[in-house]
Amino acid sequence: MNRRLIRQIVHQELEESSRSRRATTRAAIAAGADVYGQPVKQTGRIDTAKQIALVGYNLARSSAGGPPKYGFTMTSIQKVGINPASVFETPLALYAYPVTPMMVSNLTGGKNLDIAFAMPEIADEIPGNAQIDYELPFVGKAPYINFFGFNTQEGVFYTSVGMDDGKYRAAIDVLFRRFKENNSSDADNPERRFRQLLVQAQRHNRVGTQDSPNAPKSSSGMTDYLRLATVWTLTRALSMVSVAANLDAYIAGEGPSPTRSTISTWRALLLMVGIKAVIDDDVKGLIHKNEPEQIAIMDTSIIKPVQQFDNTTAAAKFGRDDDVYWKMNPDRAKAASETKQKEIQIAVDSLEQSPAVREFENLTYAINPVYLSSWMTRKVVGDLKRSGLDNRIVKIVLDYGLKAYPKALLGGTYFYVAVHDLAGDNRIVDEMTSKLMADQGAYFDAIKGLITSFRGNSDRHIKKFIIDFFNVAFKKGAELAAQSPGEAASMLEALASSATVQGSMSMSYFIQLVMPIVKVLPREVQTSPFFNHPDGARMSRVDMLRDIFGEAERLKADAKEQDKAQTLEKKKGQRPTTDDLYANLGDLDKLKGRLKHVLDRARQELRSAQNLVSDRNEFFKHGGHIDLDDYSSALRRFHQHTIQSATLEQLQQAEEIWLQYVAKVRDLVRGPNYLQMTNDIVNSNPGASNDVINDLMSDYMHEHANSQVAQFEQVINALETEMTAQIESMDDKSVETSPLYERLITRWL
């Protein structure tokens, strides 16, 4: 039997086996679908898109006739929680959509509507119009869909229900007491100041009387919804006042823009008055006017997961903003372009006739979506320039948007990115930097806040804007940097660590742009001990910025390499193999070599730790602890190659020995419990002086480190003994060594 014939036999067996396995798997899935009601495709695979629709519509049906009992949130990771880095002007919270028939239809892109139409409880809530664009207002492309319910209704408020009189009065009392306690020394009349904020909150929600415009409306004179809206707006105002330097300026409308500190405080105030979640099911726009139907959950302990899906909806595959969508829908593309052009034309005409904040906001709402779609950017921007609207828009922004309101930017930051592109030069960024320089003390903080307000990946318009903005702002700000070096240095660090900045330019270009600021910093700031390198070496400001900026590039490179390794490993695991036809007695040498390798690395780590604890003075110079590199000495897996000379059970036993070793090393890596240590020493030595306590703590820390080293040595020796014995037990010399074709014939006969 020659090699060619052997290959044909092996190939045929593997092909028949794979075909058989696929048929068996599909039959099993189809059978499971019949039993458990899981929708499947004709191929036998589960139809995830249809399953999402089934779960969503069934949850919506369970809430028919009342407020929604369930929600769903779109996430970029397989975890549901609060995003601490939120940049939106809303409380720090988990944001989601209510599970209503219409929201589920938007989630699924209008697919599988027949499921909803077959449910009489919710069928009437979905319009049967094929021209409706079913899509989520935000994050529709996120990779994970998470359905959840509530384990309690305590603290959950609906805009369709509002807040009753008792809860409203209690909330106002709590907020007033807190305001009075925190402002008793700063405000000459806390009662009057609080009343002003309450009136302002009610006016925002169109509550009040013409007879007494400066007096707050009583609870009995408001609807349940207006009570809830007033508390929501009042907590926002109080959160901003808590970080405002000037209360009168805030009440006059010149307060600070929301920052992370204010949105954290806003969340804390809502929880303080018992508001754990707000569900805007009545589409009031209370939480955010751009997403009028959504959920804000300040306390995530009140939710319980229902089911998580990979996002296989049409939005995840294409999305309305993708070129593919518009190419597939030319009639809609033309209509969308004409509609957007008219919308911008109306906003520009209104602003030229009578400039007002509301009209300016309408212009930002009209222009921003143009720059969120590559197709629309090309089409609509081209039309704007041909019609001359681009020059009119730039003039409005320069004459009104950037000059009429010197203390705040009208519209979101991205709007100025769009107008900067329309201008085609640096007029916008030049005027923006001049505006920021009007408040010299906050110039660098304003730049930092402006740039870090961008979220997500940087598109080409953001990249160009940031580069042009830096080029202008840093040249203008050189003199201010010499006057306020600390603020300038803090800004440079924040910008170097910003993912937006890192995605917009290379490290060398970033250093080139910031040099006008760096050059004017005093020498003591450039070499301040605060910026010492971990190994004790002093770093210049430029080197430190390179280090911060370069860390992100290294992490990206590591992530890219890890993705490649995972992809190759996945391919290897799915590839048919004939390795099991060989009895390679040399395989066990791989395990022996692996054991020697990990023992060498672990003992090298051990020697470093022993040298450190042997010198008490050096030990405390190092910080009074040892740093065992558990990644170096206890990797995730032991055998990383295919081992054919051992059975699965033997390999599992070896892996179990390794996992026990890893767990012990992980335990040793943890340092001492300093709080418990301090309590024990103080309790066992009552009346001892601070010097005595400090000496005892030093002794304890040194003893603990010596104990760590001794235990580490024991763990390494135990691994060597147990793993060596296990590998020797695998070395079965009686395994067949006959030629390959004889083993094939024996196996198949």
pLDDT in tens, 694-714: 788 888 888 888 888 888 888
Residue 525 included in any domain: no
Residue 138 included in any domain: yes
Looking only at the bridges linking them, the beta strands covering 156-158 and 277-279 are parallel
Whether residues 116 and 178 fall in one domain? no
Whether residues 595 and 734 fall in one domain? yes
Q: How many domains are there within the chain?
A: 3
DSSP calls for 146-206: EEEEES--TTEEETTT---HHHHHHHHHHHHHHHHHHHTTT-S-HHHHHHHHHHHHHHHTT
Sheet holding 94-98, edge to edge: 156-158, 277-279, 295-297, 94-98, 70-75, 144-150, 303-310
The pLDDT-based confidence of 56 (bands split at 50, 70, 90) is very high
What pLDDT was estimated at residue 672? 67
Residue 88 included in any domain: yes
What pLDDT was estimated at residue 215? 75
Per-residue pLDDT of 502-561, as tens digits, reads 888 888 888 888 888 888 888 776 665 444 444 455 567 787 788 777 766 666 666 677
Name the residue with higher pLDDT: 175 or 453.
175
Domain that holds residue 259: 158-275
Of 10-19, 101-110, 428-437, minimum mean pLDDT range:
10-19
Residue 163 included in any domain: yes
Residue identified by tokens 């989630």 is 107
Whether residues 653 and 739 fall in one domain? yes
Whether residues 125 and 182 fall in one domain? no
Of 201-210, 232-241, 611-620, minimum mean pLDDT range:
201-210
Whether residues 138 and 164 fall in one domain? no
What pLDDT was estimated at residue 47? 80
Of 423-427, 518-522, 643-647, 713-717, minimum mean pLDDT range:
643-647
DSSP calls for 49-95: HHHHHHHHHHHHHHTTTSS--EEEEEESSS-----TT--SSS-SSEE
Whether residues 664 and 640 fall in one domain? yes
CA distance 399 to 404: 7
Residue 186 included in any domain: yes
Residue identified by tokens 């609509």 is 380
Residue 663 included in any domain: yes
CA distance 565 to 568: 5
Burial class (CB in 10 A: 0-12, 13-18, 19+), 99: buried
Contact 100, 60 (CB under 8 A): yes
Whether residues 129 and 266 fall in one domain? no
Q: Of 247, 275, 303, which closes a domain?
A: 275
What pLDDT was estimated at residue 488? 85
Whether residues 721 and 746 fall in one domain? yes
Closest CA to 639 of 710, 574, 588, 676: 588
Residue 407 included in any domain: no
Q: Of 126, 155, 184, which closes a domain?
A: 155
Residue 242 included in any domain: yes
Most confident of 9-13, 99-103, 489-493, 579-583: 99-103
The one-character DSSP state at 220 is G
The yes-or-no verdict on residue 185 having pLDDT over 80 is no
Whether residues 191 and 145 fall in one domain? no
What pLDDT was estimated at residue 530? 43
Whether residues 166 and 151 fall in one domain? no
Whether residues 224 and 141 fall in one domain? no
Other Cβ atoms within 10 Å of 239 Cβ, number: 23
Q: Of 111, 134, 155, which closes a domain?
A: 155
CA distance 556 to 278: 38
Largest CA distance in the chain: 106
- Span 476-480, average pLDDT: 85
The yes-or-no verdict on residue 562 having pLDDT over 70 is yes
CA angle 180, 185, 188 (to 5 degrees): 80
The yes-or-no verdict on residue 177 having pLDDT over 60 is yes
What mean pLDDT, rounded, does the chain reach? Answer: 76
417-426 as b/e, with b when 16 or more CB fall inside 10 Å? Answer: bbbbbbbeee
The enclosing H or E element of 303 equals strand 303-310
Contact 103, 279 (CB under 8 A): no
What pLDDT was estimated at residue 520? 85
The one-character DSSP state at 426 is S
What pLDDT was estimated at residue 167? 92
Whether residues 151 and 174 fall in one domain? no
In angstroms and rounded to an integer, the radius of gyration of the C-alpha atoms of the chain is 33
- Span 5-19, average pLDDT: 63
